[in-house]
Amino acid sequence: MAATLGSDLNFFIEDCTAAVCRGRGEQVTAIPVNGVRWFVAARPSTGNSTPQVFSGLQLPTEHRSSLPLTTSLQNDNTIPPTKTLFNRLTTSACRLNPEMSALLRRLQHIANRPALMSGSGSTCFTLCENQSEAETIHQQLPDNQKWVLHSA
């Protein structure tokens, strides 16, 4: 039923902290997470049209896997290696939403590490080493873009 309302809703009704979502997001496979994770999420005032983001998607020729990320989440409490974090929709979404693109750059600059986009956007986030770092990053974002400071 949740999948008929929205592609991402299944994750929120599952009993899990983290998951690999496939299909349109309705196929949820929970993964165990070791330790507490902190992240900061922010959202620009303009949203993204999911159909438009997907219509601009250009699939890379290289194969990328979420396995290194899921392994990192299961085994330790450190930020996963940069190469394990990716969202294939980011390039298309940034072309369509310059405000979101600027927010991604700002978040990367503040955090001094990659910022990513959630789903087809426009929410952006970065992982943090600890609560103190998350609070510091959160405080440096404009009030109208602050959204979530979260522990998982």
pLDDT tens for each residue of 7-39: 666 666 777 778 887 777 778 888 887 777 788
| Residues 43, 146 contacting (CB under 8 angstroms) | no
Nearest Cα neighbor of 130 from 35, 41, 37 is 37
Instruction: Please give the pLDDT value at position 67.
Output: 78
Query: Angle CA(78)–CA(84)–CA(98) in degrees, nearest 5?
Result: 105
Instruction: Please give the pLDDT value at position 92.
Output: 93
Q: Dihedral sign, CA of 17, 50, 134, 75?
A: positive
Q: Using CA atoms, how far apart are residues 73 and 18, in angstroms rounded to an integer?
A: 9
Instruction: Please give the pLDDT value at position 78.
Output: 63
The DSSP 8-state label assigned to residue 45 in this structure reads S
- Low-confidence stretches of the chain (pLDDT beneath 50): none
